[in-house]
Amino acid sequence: MRRTDPESPTTPPDGRPLSEQPRWRKDFPIHLPEDEYVSRRDFTKFMVLTSLAFVAGQFWILLRNATRKAQAKPAIRPIVAVADVPVGSVQTFQYPGPHDNCVLVRQGESTFVAYSQVCTHLSCAVIPKPEVDRIHCPCHEGQFDLSTGRPIAGPPQRPLTRISIEILGGMVYATGVNRRVV
Amino acid sequence: MKRPRFPRHERMTIVNGILSIVMTIVILQLWLLTATMNAFLGGDQSTLAPAALASLICLLLNAGLLRYLYTLDR
């Protein structure tokens, strides 16, 4: 790469002559265009490093999946008494862990559905609206079908994580977690 | 000094070609990563290992091209 002035030890970024530059720029000359110049080889090397980072990400996901599989299945836990949940109402609960917020909706006399309250778009808390048969995410106006948990409007692409429930002896029990892609 | 195998203008064409291929492969890997993350979040485990293997193959291709790039001037 040629310098504009072969006598000048540096090319100042403000374009002023060397005599008007601070002393340190004369003492520590750096040819700035050369310093900023990235050769195609260097750029290719950078792209290969990016490729390596993506591979690391892939194997990280694989590792996370392995640890998830190694975890024990969540225990069956009672949520609420059937009599305490009127038809068309919503009950919140935590399952499987204390920070995993979920919602239980009684759609009919014997119809219950339960989902994770975490929106599959950007993890906002969703709000069930049984009167319109929908689950609404207020952050980006996502809409899920109440009966299936599948996205029907807005940016979410994946269905809500479904919580398996069973009714035994007048109590509603959470029995498992069901993540879905479609 | 040993003369390079290709004249300069041909080498630049090869370099540009290699860079284009590498960038295409990296973009493919980016798509692969986002698809894998989507599958993992949805609980689909069947695609994770093949995707990781495919990404590794892409990296090996990129590394091979980079190695060839550095041997061009020898």
Mind listing the pLDDT tens digit for each residue in B1-57? Answer: 556 677 777 788 888 899 999 999 999 999 999 999 999 998 888 999 999 999 999
* Predicted local confidence at residue A66, as pLDDT: 92
From chain A, the residues in CB contact with B74 under 8 A are none
Q: How far is A49 from chain B (nearest CA, A)?
A: 9
> What residues of A are in the B interface, CB distance below 8 Å?
40-41, 43-45, 47-48, 50-52, 54-55, 57-59, 61-62, 64-65, 69, 120, 157-159, 161, 178-182
Is the pLDDT at A178 greater than 70? The verdict is: yes
What is the full DSSP assignment across A59-106?
A: HHHHHHHHHHHHSPPPPPEEEEEGGGS-TT-EEEEE-SSTT-EEEEEE
Q: Cα–Cα distance between A124 and A120 in angstroms, integer?
A: 8
> What pLDDT band is residue A33 in, cutting at 50, 70 and 90?
low
Q: How far is B71 from chain A (nearest CA, A)?
A: 11
Is the pLDDT at A104 greater than 50? The verdict is: yes
* Predicted local confidence at residue A40, as pLDDT: 83
Would you call A15 exposed, middle or buried from its count of C-beta atoms within 10 A (0-12, 13-18, 19+)?
A: exposed
The H-assigned helical ranges of A140-180 are none
Residue A112: its H or E element: strand A112-116
pTM: 0.74
* Predicted local confidence at residue A14, as pLDDT: 81
Helices B8-41, B48-71: inter-axial angle, 10-degree rounding: 170
Is the pLDDT at A52 greater than 60? The verdict is: yes
* Predicted local confidence at residue A72, as pLDDT: 78
Handedness of CA A66, A67, A72, A78 (dihedral sign): negative
Q: Cα–Cα distance between B15 and B19 in angstroms, integer?
A: 6
Q: Is B19 within 8 Å of A40 when comparing Cβ atoms?
A: yes
> What pLDDT band is residue A3 in, cutting at 50, 70 and 90?
very low
> What pLDDT band is residue A10 in, cutting at 50, 70 and 90?
low
* Average pLDDT of the residues in A32-38: 66
* Average pLDDT of the residues in A6-34: 74
Is the pLDDT at A24 greater than 60? The verdict is: yes
From chain B, the residues in CB contact with A164 under 8 A are none
Q: Is A64 within 8 Å of B40 when comparing Cβ atoms?
A: yes
Which of A30-44, A124-138, A166-180, B52-66 is predicted with the least confidence, judged by mean pLDDT?
A30-44
| A97 touches A90 (CB < 8 A) | no
